[in-house]
Amino acid sequence: MPFVEKDVAQDMAAAMEMIRRSGQQGVPVVATDSEVILGFDQVALARLAERLSGPKRPALGLLGADAESYLARHPEAAATLPPDTKGVFVGAVRPDTVADRAGIRPGDVVVALAGKRVRGMATMDQLIGTLAAGDAVSVRFLRGGEDQTATLQF
């Protein structure tokens, strides 16, 4: 491949070609005053845009932990719950999420989702992974030892 030197300061077409080629290779193009003109991989950006514009994965909107291990380390939280409670202990609920709209609060323990027992975070993640945006399913949780049921609208 022959080497051809071009003065991009004088030749606008050469400058545009340099920017186009460099951007495709993921190499940032930098002006003399250290300003980045183009500093991203256009192909990777297109792939990311395609992924983000695809179908949304349902999310519950809560932070939780396996109830069994959490309650073993925090006996005060287990005081009002049945012995050997399994599920997901809810540590926090993000505002305006599926969990928030269903009335789930920190301190609740999710024990069933869509009619299936939740034994921990892994089980809950698997069950949520089978759902699609727009699905409505029941959730059963314990609050202060009392059994509660609500509908989750994804």
Same domain for 45 and 68? Answer: no
Cα–Cα separations (whole angstroms), residue 89 to 18, 47, 69: 55, 36, 9
Same domain for 68 and 37? Answer: no
C-beta of residue 142 within 8 angstroms of C-beta of residue 85: yes
Mean pLDDT, each 10-residue run in order, the chain (154 residues): 65 71 56 58 73 73 93 88 92 95 96 95 92 91 94 92
Question: Which token pair is 74?
Answer: 């925090």
Same domain for 137 and 74? Answer: yes
pLDDT at 104: 97
Q: Please state the length of the chain.
A: 154
Query: What angle, rounded to 10 degrees, do the helices at 12-25 and 42-53 form?
Result: 60
User: Where in the sequence is the domain holding 116, given as residue range(s)?
Assistant: 62-153
pLDDT at 84: 87
pLDDT at 35: 61
Same domain for 135 and 75? Answer: yes
| Domain presence at residue 77 | yes
Same domain for 47 and 91? Answer: no
pLDDT at 121: 94
